[in-house]
């Protein structure tokens, strides 16, 4: 049986971001040591309680500190990005991690992020997702 970790990094907003990131990194490194098969990190720009805006960048800092765990984006909100940027970043991360990448994608679910990226309109969001 394989066990994965959906890492929803909820933290009190008063905590310094550097401490939050260090705590999340420690959890993933420990999960790797315990034999967890994968970890998933979400992407939020406007959620002060879930402050990881670039999951692939965060996970890239853990590649050399882990041995086996696969890294997944849970999820990349495609309407908030240009498709070529996501494709390039995902390909680079997969190569850097030695093939330990699971790419999770979605249309996004946080209204404040949708407002930030001007994709509150469901039709627009769906078109950008399909692109």
Token couple for 19: 């401490």
What does each C-alpha distance from 83 to 76, 105, 116 come to in angstroms? 11, 11, 18
| pLDDT for 8 | 73
- In this predicted model, what pLDDT tens digit does every residue of 2-27 receive, in sequence order? 999 998 767 888 999 999 999 999 99
| pLDDT for 9 | 66
- In this predicted model, what pLDDT tens digit does every residue of 54-91 receive, in sequence order? 999 999 999 999 999 999 999 999 999 999 999 999 99
In the chain, what percentage of residues exceed pLDDT 70? Answer: 99
User: Would the pTM of this model clear 0.85, i.e. be above it?
Assistant: yes
CB under 8 Å to 72, separation ≥6 — which residues?
A: 4, 38, 39, 40, 41, 101, 102, 103, 104
């Amino acid at each position: 049986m394989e066990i994965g970790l959906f890492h929803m990094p909820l933290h009190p907003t008063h905590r310094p971001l550097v401490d939050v990131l260090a705590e999340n990194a420690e959890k993933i490194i420990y999960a790797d040591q315990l034999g967890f098969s994968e970890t998933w990190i979400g992407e939020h720009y406007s959620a002060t309680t879930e402050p990881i805006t670039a999951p692939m960048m965060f996970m890239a800092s853990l590649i050399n500190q882990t041995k086996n765990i696969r890294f997944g984006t849970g999820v990349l909100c495609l309407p908030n990005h240009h498709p070529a940027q996501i494709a390039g970043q995902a390909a680079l991360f997969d190569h850097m991690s030695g093939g330990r990448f699971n790419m999770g994608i979605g249309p996004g679910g946080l209204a404040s992020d949708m407002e930030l990226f001007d994709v509150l309109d469901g039709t627009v969001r769906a078109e950008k997702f399909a692109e």
